[in-house]
Copies of this chain bind each other. A is one copy, B any other.
Amino acid sequence: MTVSHRARNAETFHALDFAQRAADLEAQGHHVVKLSIGEPDFGAPPAVLAAGRDALDGRPLPYTPPLGLPELRSALSDFYRDRHGVQVPAERIAITMGASAALLLATAATTDPGDEVILADPSYPCNRELVQSFGGTVVALPTTAATRYQLDADMVERAWGDRTTSVMIASPSNPTGTSIPFDELAAICELARSRGGWRIVDEIYLELSDASPAHTVLEVDPDAIVTGSFSKYFGMTGWRLGWAVLPPQLVGPVERLAMNYFLSASNPTQQAALACFTPETLEVCERRRRELGARRRLVLEGLARIGLPVPVVPDGAFYVYIDVSGTGLGAWQFCEQALDVAHVALTPGRDFGPTTGETHVRLSYAASRGELNEGLSRLGHFLASRRG
């Protein structure tokens, strides 16, 4: 019996490993400040919880259609229209088990063995595994603070080759919380389109941008593949529900893959998610977005105070990407010691690519201000004790 190459070569997602190590420490009675995982501490808004409970009242809960409950697809279509002013027919929206499954389906539907997919280093690690799992070759372009750790059109143009079929973008980005300037995003998409390439744009943090409403790529590239999620803005990480906006020619292919791979997303969770789009729930979510902005300021001030530089100030999501190279520790070591000594869980840059892998760590500020202050204080003492 031989384990497949893709499984043998798959990288662990260290963010989850560090979270597990944090949980193990807590099980031993320690209080760990957990800033490693990209999960808001808010949870789902009250109306979503209530709708979820209502869905479990004994009514039938069969498989939904493979692309989701029609009423949820419609609600998302209305949301794109009302918030972003773009027309996205419900028929082009696929409801999926998290943005994870949306990215899996998008990759599976667009990547043949040998195809090259351009993406940024650093970026969300699972994208690389998905591309490779379906036989594609990842072309990870090193980025720097000069472009906010994002691709720009010049880079993409230089890297575009005969076998390139897609560019994958996330804006705002995980791990950096930085967005691509909108005209630059438009230029990248225009370039990829002109070369006959897919644009896979992950907008799961879009509604957690400083700009509100933020600009979706669909304003300038209606045929981009866009992934979204109920996890972040709506606080439903553990529920596993997301979506993809598909260009017309991908709807049928993705539907066929979705029915074979998954049958459908969860029926009760989809029913609960219908409560996301009321004015009341959106007001709850907007309050949370503003709270995350306040937490970011708190974290940036605190990190400056203890001497940990953040080379690029984020403009969305809930991450800061810290350069720890001045501490004399590699990023991995830094995360290990921060956890073991200071009981603060962070994520090493290695998850996100080699360019910043040994110099940067990701801090998720989706924790309460109290926890953030405690975490900053512990990191401060940890650094002081190293210097002292």
Which residues of chain A have a CB within 8 Å of any CB of chain B? 1-8, 10-13, 16, 20, 37, 39, 41, 43-44, 46, 49, 52-53, 56-66, 97-98, 100-101, 104, 108-113, 125-126, 129-130, 133-135, 165, 196-198, 236-240, 247, 249-250, 253-257, 259-269, 272
Contacts and interface: CB of A to CB of B under 8 A. Distances in A.
Contact of A109 (B4, B113, B259, B265): B4
Q: Which residue of A41, A104, A108, A240 has the most chain B CB atoms within 10 A of its CB atom?
A: A240
Contact of A250 (B3, B135, B268): B3
A4 B133 contact: no
Contact of A56 (B49, B97, B104, B165): B49
A3 B109 contact: yes
B259 A13 contact: yes
Nearest to A34: B62
29 contacts: A1-B197, A3-B250, A4-B109, A4-B110, A6-B108, A6-B112, A7-B110, A7-B250, A7-B253, A7-B254, A11-B260, A16-B65, A16-B66, A37-B63, A39-B62, A43-B60, A43-B61, A97-B266, A101-B262, A104-B261, A104-B262, A126-B259, A129-B257, A130-B261, A133-B134, A239-B266, A239-B267, A239-B268, A240-B263
A268 B98 CA distance: 14
A300 B264 CA distance: 31
A83 to B, nearest CB: 25
B49 A63 contact: no
Contacts of A3: 109-110, 249-250, 253
Given A4-B110, A6-B134, A16-B63, 20 more contacts: A1-B249, A2-B196, A3-B109, A4-B111, A6-B108, A7-B108, A7-B256, A10-B260, A12-B259, A13-B66, A13-B260, A46-B58, A97-B266, A100-B262, A130-B261, A133-B260, A239-B267, A239-B268, A240-B263, A268-B269
A307 B9 CA distance: 56
A11 B256 contact: yes
Given A4-B134, A16-B65, A108-B133, A97 B262 contact: yes
A60 B236 CA distance: 10
Q: Which residue of A109, A125, A272 has the most chain B CB atoms within 10 A of its CB atom?
A: A109
A62 to B, nearest CB: 5
Contact of A98 (B65, B197, B263): B263
A61 B239 contact: yes
A106 B104 CA distance: 16
Q: Which residue of A1, A104, A130, A253 has the most chain B CB atoms within 10 A of its CB atom?
A: A1
B37 A58 contact: no
